[in-house]
Amino acid sequence: MTGVVDNSDTSLQAYHYELPPDRIAQNPVVPRDASRLLVVDSPHSHRHRLFRDVPDLLQPGDLLILNDTKVLPARLYGRKSSGAAIEILLLEERSPDCWLALVKPGKRFKLGSQLEFDSRTGDEVLRATVLEIDPDTGGRLLKFEVPEGQSFISRLDQFGQIPFPPYVTDSGALPEQYQTIYADRPGAVAAPTAGLHFTDTLFERLEQRGIDRAFVTLHVGVGTFRPVEVEDITTHQMHGEWAEVPPETAEKIARTRDRGGRVIAVGTTVVRTLEGTATLQNSENGRIQPYCGQTNLFIYPGYRWRMVDALITNFHLPRSSLLMLVSALIGRRRLLELYQDALEQPENDLGNRYRFYSFGDAMLILPEAVLQSG
């Protein structure tokens, strides 16, 4: 499927919209599946529902693909050996016990600096050394001292905190509310937020409807959420992230295709995993082979879809690569019109208006609404 693209679709300014600050969700809805859901059901129509209605909106034989990454307690507060206070946000593992991190204040993180972080109980200290300055992010490559026989990630639970997004500034949310209920594989520094709406009860209803599910893993990095800064978006370079499509998921996708079912991606991270894998494998038949490695696919209007038939996604930041990805599915003008309609909607029966970003509400873009070849 190829979207119709015009010159304005490649301009960064074309992906800007105004969002009142009070529409940025600071806390998740309880229960999770009580969030609002904007259902895009044709090229010209949409409806307003609740997320708990998803089983009634999909078809038996459909396959949901979810990202089972788990958010790391990646924010650490500590001190230099001199005693100066510091803060770091881990981004990605570069080699065993070596992590790229954003640092505050940056001028204090010179090469060779010794860093210390106290455990929550105060009876242990985690130490690290600054090895390099990363020219792309301005961050630092840190080498952590880990006792033999232990893993760095397992020790993080004693020292780190779950990093909420920077626009969540007044939240009473618990750390576990920034994890999906199926989070299983630690490695992300941000949650795959489209999956935050699912509950055990909702999964039971989906199963009863004959709607299957499978998992991929993409460890979400900070690059996913950084704004695009080039005026011609076609020159933007995505930050690579580690992804995996396990054999059982590739097999479920093939079986779904064989029976005429549809592949529903839960979140843009799943889209990039599936479409990135299909692109690397040059797949043209809606099937992929198992994969494990980096993906840095940038999807914007004009992209030719290979794998994804429908999408569940949250509302995204202006000028973000995620907004461009969703625009490639249904068109930029239409997406921005839908965002504006969501902003203008009154409170629903639960007393909620549409809320945006990570703790906010969701959209379901059904296959009937997706741009067709042309």
- Dihedral sign of CA atoms 30, 32, 38, 39 in order: negative
pLDDT of residue 4: 45
The yes-or-no verdict on residue 150 having pLDDT over 80 is yes
**pLDDT value of residue 123:** 86
At residue 137, the pLDDT reads 81
Mean pLDDT, residues 347-362 taken together: 96
Report how far residue 290's alpha carbon sits from residue 281's, in angstroms, rounded to the nearest whole number: 10
Q: How far apart are CA 327 and CA 168, in angstroms?
A: 25
pLDDT of residue 320: 94
Q: How far apart are CA 128 and CA 54, in angstroms?
A: 46
pLDDT, tens digit, for every residue of 80-113?
988 999 999 999 889 999 999 999 998 778 899 9
**Using CA atoms, how far apart are residues 119 and 76, in angstroms rounded to an integer?**
10
Residue among 176, 178, 161, 162 nearest 26 (CA): 178
What's this model's pTM, rounded to 2 decimal places? 0.94
Confidence of residue 1 (pLDDT cuts 50, 70, 90): very low
* Look-up of token digits 């396959």: 63
* CA–CA distance, 39 with 214 (Å, rounded to integer): 22
**Structural domains in the chain, sorted by start:** 7-71+172-369 (3.40.1780.10), 75-159 (2.40.10.240)
Band (pLDDT 50/70/90 cuts) for residue 7 is low
User: Is the pLDDT reported for residue 335 higher than 50?
Assistant: yes
The identity of residue 123, as a single letter, is D
Give the start-end residues of each E strand in the chain: 36-40, 46-50, 63-67, 69-71, 75-80, 85-95, 98-104, 114-118, 125-133, 140-144, 185-188, 212-218, 241-245, 263-266, 291-295, 310-314, 362-365
310-314, strands of its sheet edge to edge: 46-50, 36-40, 362-365, 310-314, 263-266, 63-67, 212-218, 241-245, 291-295
Query: Is the pLDDT assigned to residue 225 strictly greater than 90?
Result: no
Rg of the Cα atoms in the chain:
21
49-63, 122-136, 190-204, 325-339, range with the lowest pLDDT: 122-136
**Alpha carbons 219 and 198: distance in angstroms, whole number:** 19
Residue 15 near residue 327 (C-beta atoms within 8 A) = yes
In the block, which residue shows the tokens 């693209």? 5
Instruction: List Cα–Cα distances, 108 to 85, 124, 324, in angstroms.
Output: 9, 23, 37
Query: Which of 131-145, 242-256, 282-296, 343-357 comes out lowest in average pLDDT?
Result: 131-145
Neighbours of 97 (CB within 10 A): 17
User: How far apart, in whole angstroms, are the C-alpha atoms of residue 239 and residue 156?
Assistant: 24
Helix pair 321-330, 268-281: axis angle to 10 deg: 70
